[in-house]
Amino acid sequence: MADFNIRSDSVNVEQIMEQIRARIREKRGVDYTEQQISELAAVKMEKFLDARGVRSDLLEEFRRMRPPVDAPVRPNYVFDETTLFDTHRAPIRWIRRLLQPILKLFFNPNPLIQALHIQSQLNTMQAQAEAEQLARGPARDQLTFEVMHNLVLEATRMGIEVKNLKMRVESLSSRLEFNERRARVLESAVVYKAPEQPADRGFQQPAAPARSDFESRQSEPRPQADYRPRPEPVQERRAPSAPPAAAPAGAQPGAPEGPGQRSRRRRRRRGRRGGASAASVMGAGPVPGGSASVQADGHSGTPHESDHEAEPSPSDDLPDAADFTPGGPGDPEPDDAQ
Amino acid sequence: MKLAIVVQRYGLAINGGAELHARYIAEHLARHADVEVLTTCATDYVTWRNELAPGVETVNGVSVRRFRVKHQRDPRLFGKLSDRVFGERHSLADELDWLDAEGPTSPALIEYLGKHGGAYDYCLFFSYRYYHAYHGARAVPSRAILVPTAERDAAVGLHMFHPVFRGVRALMYNSHEERAMIQAVSGNEHVPGIVVGVGSDVPQNPQAARFRQKHNIRGPFAIYVGRIDQNKGCPELFDFFQRYAKEPTGRLSLVLVGHSLLPIPQHPRIRHLGFLEDADKFDGMAAADLLLMPSYFESLSMVALEAWALGKPVLANAKCEVLKGQCVRSNAGLYYERYAEFAETLHAIEHNRWLSGSLGRNGRQYFQNNYDWRVIERKYLDMLAQLQANPARHTMDPLPGRAERRRDDLAAAQDVLDRLPGSSGQDRRRA
């Protein structure tokens, strides 16, 4: 967090803010504000709605399409047991009531009266329900609009997040791929280990009294990091019996070697004396010429080593591999100083 | 030279920004001139209730003459009129009604100015948006010097104020942004004006350890000083800080100093200490790693200046043009618009000691160069001398007639504000 790259002694707040914003973009991808998300969502909504010939102002559109209407006045009637015989003329009403028993001799009007009465009640209930539904209409439209609006916003936000996550997954994949490659390189150092060449022993110092690795590292100066351009990595995998790749200029046989190289060789030999070489265990045949091997993925494991000695055993190289960090995880090759 | 300082409230216990500003200016100008303060009997800026006795008293060696407020504010009426003048087409009469509803309505003060204004060489009116400044400046236009303390809120878009901005003798601005806004809204470039601001009496040796011991505060913390209010951006601050506190690298706590009008979130890293005396407040600022200024509306943040005087960096809300401008000009503070920037800037100040130290040093230098009392006093005295040397060449437009005042032909104040240069559409009306 604190690694702002300000080289001047004086502070320029605008410059710092630019760096902070760049850092935010790096860390979080494109960081949209709420307003920007709304704008993006509105654009998508317009596109979506244009296909249906509807404008983006959904709520207004809903209102326009469904203008507020009053509850329709549906015809209804009141029907009870006297309705059939009712009239505003009192004498006629009296006569009908008088003749009602005679009428009932011909047919029974009661079921008819009951059916019409029930129908009247049903009509009333239906009208009330429609009126309530109409009254709730605008509120429901509002809620529908809000739900749609929120859905579109969330969908946009999710889209952006998915895009950012995809970028992160890609980044992680590439890192993982690199780590796998590096692991393969280290593993192949065991598989393609060249046998020891007796001639090489002529370069070696007599075995020193046994010292721990730490002591030897402490007592001998570490070789300086070599920042010269590195040789192009070999593109295809070579068989163990193939002739060796051209060694770099600094790695010609007989070229002077640094104290670090000598100490590494000593360490390796010490390790080998403890038992059979890893190559013989794995069944690898001798390599003609004793060349440094070219490794599986086209990366030369130790391209700068000048000696034609056997490849280092894993026990020698693995601690060194941990020192690759100067280049960081994105560094495709181990550091020369290793 | 006899000067009148006219302000809505005045007193040692009143710590509002403009009121404190007025008191500091009165006390410092009293060393160079005969100063009298004209104010009201109110102490509460919401109700404007008469709480102090009318008449003359002396406060810190300055004569203060108080006048009664005619009526208290009716919040319902004020809210209704605010909705009208800020959001709808309206008339000048509506704006005058709004001003009357806002208060502190003190016709006695205006009457006094009308009768005795000639006794003063100049009258300095603080806060353009209140009754006393509008009517007072109209009562004595040839002697009126306005200290507008204007913020980027809708009130500046009200049409009634524009003739006042054009008609006073001079304006003492708090910031370059304030001057640009007022000139854009009223076209008063011909009126003499200068960016002055205000100084602050910051103690030489604030005791950070004393503050930590007294309030049992350990570890690094950011401090907020001021009213804890919606308008000050505190809800956003709480939201951002709680999100920041969830991040594993953030170690700062938040200490809040001031009266709260909002519920404070219950969070183990948020402490509210309430209102503190000045000495305690300065101790707290000295103990803090930085000052947070989340406010959307500021004409000049005195707290930010005090933090800079103490060599502390400021993290301000970039939505407030004035605060952002001050941070950029001073190179003494960072600013944020959204959470990502808030978190990154806070981390930067927290973890980069070189950066926070440099910001603090710049702040101290900025304060000394621009807000030291000697600089402030010199600017005021120079302006008064300039006005005395040059007679007024402009006058204030009279109020239109009764019929014209009733004409509904004025645009909504919010629309006027939105049309100003630099408006981002996020300028909001004060609650």
Question: Which tokens hold the place of A120?
Answer: 């009247």
Interface check for B351 against chain A (CB to CB < 8 A): the answer is yes
Q: Is B296 exposed, middle or buried (0-12, 13-18, 19+ CB in 10 A)?
A: buried
C-alpha A139/C-alpha B225 separation (Å) is 44
Residue A16 forms part of a structural domain: no
H helix or E strand, kind and range, residue B244: helix B234-246
The DSSP call for residue B170 is E
C-alpha B272/C-alpha B284 separation (Å) is 12
H helix or E strand, kind and range, residue B83: helix B75-87
The mean per-residue pLDDT over the stretch A311-327 comes to 37
Phi, psi values for residue B41, rounded to 5°: -90, 5
Helix, strand or coil for residue A20?
helix
Whether residue A213 sits in one domain with residue A184: no
B51-74 per-residue burial string, b: 16 or more CB within 10 A, e: under 16: ebebeeeeeeebebbbbbbbebbe
Helix, strand or coil for residue A207?
coil
> How close does chain B come to A29, measured CA to CA in Å?
11
Alpha helices (H) along chain A: 13-28, 34-50, 58-65, 90-106, 110-191, 213-219, 259-273, 278-282, 314-321
Using the predicted structure, report yes or no on whether residue A305 has a pLDDT greater than 70: no
Residue A232 forms part of a structural domain: no
Residue A302 forms part of a structural domain: yes
Give the pLDDT score at A73: 74
Measure the CA angle with vertex B306, ends B430 and B145; round to 5°: 60
**Chain Cα centroid distance, residue B223:** 20
Whether residue A167 sits in one domain with residue A99: yes
Give the pLDDT score at B299: 78
Give the pLDDT score at B378: 93
Residues B6 and B147: beta-carbon distance below 8 Å: no
Residue A69 forms part of a structural domain: yes
Beta bridge partners of B66: B39, B55
> How close does chain B come to A128, measured CA to CA in Å?
38
C-alpha A100/C-alpha A90 separation (Å) is 15
CB-nearest to B331 from A1, A13, A24 is: A13
Question: Which tokens hold the place of A7?
Answer: 């080289």
Helix, strand or coil for residue A124?
helix
Between chain A and chain B, how many beta carbons pairs sit less than 8 Å apart?
55
Residues B257 and B224: beta-carbon distance below 8 Å: yes
C-alpha A79/C-alpha A122 separation (Å) is 12
Which single residue is written with the structure tokens 């183990």? B268
The DSSP call for residue A319 is H
Give the pLDDT score at B383: 94
Residues A213 and A267: beta-carbon distance below 8 Å: yes
Q: Which residues of A touch B332 (CB under 8 A)?
A: 13
Task: Check B358 against A10: CB less than 8 A apart.
Answer: yes
Point out the domain boundary residue: A149, A175, A191.
A191
Give the pLDDT score at B321: 87
H helix or E strand, kind and range, residue B293: strand B290-293
Residues A262 and A177: beta-carbon distance below 8 Å: no
Give the pLDDT score at A52: 45
C-alpha A303/C-alpha A293 separation (Å) is 9
> Would the CA dihedral through B61, B63, B67, B69 be positive or negative?
negative
Interface check for A2 against chain B (CB to CB < 8 A): the answer is yes
Task: Check A17 against B359: CB less than 8 A apart.
Answer: no
Task: Check B352 against A12: CB less than 8 A apart.
Answer: no
Whether residue A102 sits in one domain with residue A201: no
Domain that includes residue A100, residue range: 28-191
Measure the CA angle with vertex B390, ends B388 and B391; round to 5°: 85
Using the predicted structure, report yes or no on whether residue A218 has a pLDDT greater than 50: no
CB-nearest to A28 from B332, B335, B340 is: B340
Whether residue A203 sits in one domain with residue A187: no
The DSSP call for residue B372 is S
E strand segments, B68-197: 122-126, 144-147, 170-173, 193-195
Helix, strand or coil for residue A275?
coil
Least confident of A53-57, A181-185, B377-381, B398-402: A53-57
CA atoms within 13 A on the CB side of B343: 19
Least confident of A279-293, A322-336, B393-407: A322-336
CB-nearest to B344 from A6, A13, A24 is: A24
Residues B224 and B292: beta-carbon distance below 8 Å: yes
C-alpha B88/C-alpha B429 separation (Å) is 13
Residues A265 and A204: beta-carbon distance below 8 Å: yes
pLDDT, one tens digit per residue, over A81-124 is 888 888 888 899 899 888 988 988 898 888 888 999 999 999 98
Interface check for A94 against chain B (CB to CB < 8 A): the answer is no
Using the predicted structure, report yes or no on whether residue A197 has a pLDDT greater than 90: no
Whether residue A172 sits in one domain with residue A56: yes
Residue A227 forms part of a structural domain: no
Residues B324 and B270: beta-carbon distance below 8 Å: no
Helix, strand or coil for residue B358?
helix
User: How do beta strands B34-40 and B2-6 pair?
Assistant: parallel
CB-nearest to B352 from A4, A14, A24 is: A4
Residues B87 and B412: beta-carbon distance below 8 Å: yes
Phi, psi values for residue A41, rounded to 5°: -65, -40
pTM of the predicted model as reported, rounded to 2 decimal places = 0.57
Interface check for A65 against chain B (CB to CB < 8 A): the answer is no
Nearest partner of A180 among A297, A282, A334, A311, judged by Cα:
A297
CA atoms within 13 A on the CB side of B60: 17
Using the predicted structure, report yes or no on whether residue A233 has a pLDDT greater than 80: no
Give the pLDDT score at A288: 40
Whether residue A33 sits in one domain with residue A178: yes
Helix, strand or coil for residue B159?
coil
Give the pLDDT score at A241: 41
Alpha helices (H) along B263-401: 278-287, 302-309, 321-330, 339-351, 353-370, 373-389
Nearest partner of A312 among A261, A259, A274, A245, judged by Cα:
A261
User: How do beta strands B62-67 and B55-59 pair?
Assistant: antiparallel
The DSSP call for residue B42 is B
C-alpha A77/C-alpha A234 separation (Å) is 99
C-alpha B211/C-alpha B424 separation (Å) is 40
Alpha helices (H) along A274-309: 278-282
Residue A129 forms part of a structural domain: yes
pLDDT, one tens digit per residue, over A132-166 is 888 887 777 777 777 887 887 788 888 888 888 88
Whether residue A187 sits in one domain with residue A206: no
Other Cβ atoms within 10 Å of B328 Cβ, number: 17
C-alpha B315/C-alpha B290 separation (Å) is 7
> How close does chain B come to A69, measured CA to CA in Å?
29
Phi, psi values for residue A74, rounded to 5°: -95, 140
> How close does chain A come to B294, measured CA to CA in Å?
17
Whether residue A171 sits in one domain with residue A71: yes
Point out the domain boundary residue: A172, A191, A210.
A191
Question: pLDDT tens per residue, chain B (431 residues)?
Answer: 999 999 999 998 887 788 989 999 999 999 999 999 999 999 998 899 999 999 999 999 999 999 999 999 999 999 999 999 999 999 999 999 999 999 899 999 999 999 999 999 999 999 999 999 999 999 999 999 999 999 888 999 999 999 999 999 999 999 898 999 999 999 999 999 999 988 888 888 899 999 999 999 989 999 999 989 888 899 999 999 999 998 888 889 999 999 898 899 999 999 999 999 889 999 999 999 999 999 988 878 889 999 999 999 999 999 898 899 999 999 999 999 989 899 999 999 998 888 999 999 999 999 999 999 999 999 999 999 999 998 888 889 888 888 889 988 899 999 999 888 766 544 444 44
Point out the domain boundary residue: A171, A191, A211.
A191
C-alpha B139/C-alpha B131 separation (Å) is 12
C-alpha B262/C-alpha A107 separation (Å) is 80
C-alpha B379/C-alpha B385 separation (Å) is 10
Q: Is A234 exposed, middle or buried (0-12, 13-18, 19+ CB in 10 A)?
A: middle
The residues, ordered by sequence, that sit 6+ positions from B42 with a Cβ below 8 Å of its Cβ are B8, B9, B48, B49, B50, B51, B52, B69, B103, B104
Residue A73 forms part of a structural domain: yes
Higher-confidence residue: A78 or B312? B312
Q: Which range, A20-34, A186-200, A213-227, A244-258, has the best average confidence (pLDDT)?
A: A20-34
Task: Check A31 against B362: CB less than 8 A apart.
Answer: no
> How close does chain B come to A206, measured CA to CA in Å?
53
Residue A141 forms part of a structural domain: yes
Question: Which tokens hold the place of B281?
Answer: 């407040």
Interface check for B344 against chain A (CB to CB < 8 A): the answer is yes
Helix pair A58-65, A110-191: axis angle to 10 deg: 160
Whether residue A133 sits in one domain with residue A33: yes
C-alpha A65/C-alpha A51 separation (Å) is 17
Overall domain count for chain A:
2
Q: Which residues of A touch B315 (CB under 8 A)?
A: none
User: How do beta strands B314-317 and B333-336 pair?
Assistant: parallel
Helix, strand or coil for residue B271?
strand
Q: Which residues of A touch B249 (CB under 8 A)?
A: 1
Whether residue A185 sits in one domain with residue A80: yes
Domains delineated in chain B: 2-199+374-419 (3.40.50.2000), 208-370 (3.40.50.2000)
Whether residue A262 sits in one domain with residue A122: no
> Would the CA dihedral through B56, B102, B318, B338 be positive or negative?
positive
Whether residue A316 sits in one domain with residue A177: no
